[in-house]
Chains A and B, each alone.
Chain A
Amino acid sequence: MSDHAELSARAVRMIGRGAAICLLVLAIAYGIGGGEIEYSFSSDPLGPKVFPVALAVVLGLLSVWYFFSCGSAEGFPAGRLLLRVLGIPLVMIVAVAMFEPAGFMASIFVLTFGTALLFGAPWLKALAGAIGHAVLWWFVFSYLLEVYLPAGSVFGG
């Protein structure tokens, strides 16, 4: 079975309507948030509230228009492909969380190794690629571009 189903017109409509409802909820929440902005003084007659509230109204109206006219949408991945796609942000979260405590090299190794595996690389190639990435980018950023990168607090950096 394909991981990338072709969308029927009904599925496109459903994705569109789901998105329209989410956008409408966002518009309402944003409008309420805009209406509750507190300020004591403003040098212009409009103040900081009116623009956000007006934007909320515009987005709300556009969401309603979109709800009744939703056209094209791409298919969402399914099955193993979906897991692999969602794996990328997961690997990124782990790598970024490691960035300051474990340092640039370790963090970039995790990021590139994990991503390469998700892209279907054999594990030995992924390993070699990740080591190459970590060393190459450390050299490029630290020595060529002189960008500050954390060495890792657990290593005393």
Chain B
Amino acid sequence: MNLDYLWQGFAVALTGQNLLVGFVGCFIGTLVGALPAIGPINGIALLLPIAYTMGLPAESTMILLAAIYCGAEYGGRISSILLNVPGDAGAVMTAMDGYPMAKQGRAGEALALSGLSSFVGGMLGSLGLALFAPLLSRLAVGFGPAEYFVLMIFAFATLGSMVGSQPVKTLIGCALGLMLATIGLDATSGAYRFTFDQPELSDGIEFVVLVIGLFSISEALIILENQGRGMTVIRELGRMTARMSDIVRCTGATIRSSVIGFVVGVLPGTGASVSSAISYTTEKRLSDTEGTFGKGDVRGLAAPEAANNATACGAFVPMLTLGVPGSGTTAVMLGALMLYNIQPGPMLLTEHPEIVGGLVASLFVGNVILLALNLPLVQIFARVLTVPNWLLVPGILVLSVVGVYSSHSSVFAVFLMMGIGMAGWLLRKAGFDMAPIILGFVLGRVMEVNLRNALAISGGEISILFSSTICIVLWIMAAAVTILPAYLSRRARVRTLQPT
């Protein structure tokens, strides 16, 4: 296996500038993750335009964003354990045993142990990424426009069946994202689509405007609504190191959950919330012989933390090799690469080894930085939970306004961002998730271009979408992920209704 790209990546990741960028990203990411309800996607959305405006090269921007992503996965556990409110979606299951531990006066131990399992998950996930990315990349070189189009259908099918409780809402989100991507000049025909004669829309809706509107503005409104809903921070942390007996007890759970997390992360469209739930329930089934899960069992704490960090790394595999994001956050990072006119896909590793290698190597380096930051400084990160919303949220809004203005020098773009933010808030009120919209948006143009190229090759014959083995396999997989979960849940419902 050729790992030259990785050694080249370490040369990129270990330069002074990129080490600094990685450190700053890890620090900000942990802070962002620690804040309840603000996750990695919000942090990345806020920092992306600033990184772009500062003129950072593409590889440094990716290292910064990846560090924020991984940092937020670490930081998410802090508010789960101390506040019983997950810092991000991936830390929901961490609260199940982390908060009971904190209530028993073992908050410090819980933070230390979850930091260690996050580290193991992150390192194993990075190793998986380093090994699997070149393999998948080589496989995907054979993909033509038809295969790419069907791959994206598969990504949407996976997303629809695995994210959220209502597939229809996820699919509607994807469709809305795809529709937003059609706004602007059509490069093939020169036709203006849905621009309403506004010159500002002729290049389409800018990615930064959409992502900040959906994730920052709507979030600010949600934070105001949820303000003061009886949250109490546990301040007594107790012993700040993990016991060796607990570390040994968690080893199996941590390794198993890292593998689960990585595999789930590789699946397009799924994220840390899915992997942490699967790993927690798996461990509960395997190890909870005494009924201690949910009451402060260290294995129930370690499993989801290892899984969500491994997922963050796994999610980079489809993004870097196929150009299909593995999670909402990597969808934003995919958009970031496109800002630099870099098209992710199987050729990325050959054409830009410094980006892929730099990013993978930075994950290894970032995990070491995160462990070094999170064990001794966790008390400082915990203080962020005491920052009042009236001070925090205006700061988020300033970053949103300046971020959009600085990358467009246009007040129109800021107003558009606000309109999108309000629409996002209304959709969230109706129970819609924002990640599918971003996924649809970043894949929209690529999907349409590939469909049109495929039909141009076949002279308009739609059969090209079913002609190759790869296409057929992808169609079968798409059908399987659509039908199987529905079938299994129906069977489970029938079983519970049957009298015993």
Contacts and interface: CB of A to CB of B under 8 A. Distances in A.
Q: Are A and B genuine complex partners? A: yes
Given A59-B176, A66-B168, A137-B402, A52 B182 contact: yes
A121 to B, nearest CB: 4
A110 B93 CA distance: 40
A143 to B, nearest CB: 13
B406 interface: yes
A16 B397 contact: no
A147 B54 contact: yes
Interface in B194-237: 194, 217, 220-221, 224-225, 227-228
B475 interface: no
Nearest to B432: A19
Interface string A69-96: 1011111110001001100110011011
B175 A147 contact: no
B429 A115 contact: no
B221 A85 contact: yes
Contacts of A45: 455-456, 459-460
A41 B186 CA distance: 11
Given A38-B191, A52-B193, A147-B406, A129 B390 contact: yes
B397 A112 contact: yes
B401 A15 contact: no
Interface stretch (B107-115, B299-307, B410-418): B410-418
B255 interface: no
Interface stretch (B131-139, B240-248, B445-453): B445-453
Interface string A48-74: 100110011011001101100101111
A53 B172 CA distance: 15
A115 B406 CA distance: 22
Nearest to A114: B394
Given A46-B455, A116-B394, A65 B189 contact: no
Given A4-B225, A71-B431, A88-B220, A147 B391 contact: no
Specify which of B50, B166, B172, B427 lies most central, judged by the most chain A CB atoms within 10 Å of its CB. B172
B390 A111 contact: no
Nearest to B55: A146
Judged by DSSP, the binding face of B is helix
A38 to B, nearest CB: 6
Nearest to A45: B460
A149 B402 contact: yes
Interface centre among A92, A93, A118 (most CB of B within 10 A): A92
Contacts, number: 192
Contact of B188 (A44, A56, A74): A44
Contacts of A118: 224
B386 interface: no
A92 B194 contact: no
Given A66-B169, A88-B220, A96-B414, A112 B429 contact: no
Interface residues of A, number: 72
Nearest to A59: B175
Contact of B166 (A46, A71, A77): A71
B389 interface: yes
Contacts of B127: none
Contacts of B220: 88, 115
Contacts of A23: 172
Contacts of B422: 89
B227 A66 contact: no
B193 A37 contact: yes
Interface in B153-198: 165-166, 168-169, 171-172, 175-176, 178-179, 182, 186, 188-194
A62 B388 CA distance: 41
Contact of B191 (A39, A44, A93, A129): A39
A85 to B, nearest CB: 5
B299 to A, nearest CB: 31
B395 interface: yes
A115 B394 contact: yes
Contacts of B456: 43-46
Given A34-B193, A48-B191, A141 B402 contact: yes
Interface in A101-145: 104, 108, 111-112, 115-116, 118-121, 125-126, 129-130, 133, 137, 141, 145
A147 B193 contact: no
B347 interface: no
B309 to A, nearest CB: 29
A19 B171 contact: no
B164 to A, nearest CB: 9
A74 B390 contact: no
B395 A133 contact: yes
Contacts of B468: none
Interface string B376-402: 000000000000111101110110011
A94 B254 CA distance: 51
A145 B390 contact: no
A92 B401 contact: yes
B307 to A, nearest CB: 25
Contacts of A81: 224-225
Given A37-B193, A85-B224, A99-B401, A120 B431 contact: no
Given A52-B179, A71-B166, A100 B391 contact: no
15 contacts: A43-B456, A45-B455, A45-B459, A55-B182, A81-B225, A85-B221, A92-B401, A93-B415, A93-B418, A104-B402, A111-B398, A118-B224, A133-B395, A137-B395, A145-B54
A-B interface, 4 closest residue pairs, ranked by CB to CB distance from nearest = A121-B390, A112-B394, A39-B191, A119-B390
Given A48-B188, A48-B191, 11 more contacts: A39-B190, A39-B191, A45-B455, A55-B178, A62-B175, A63-B172, A89-B418, A111-B394, A111-B401, A115-B397, A129-B394
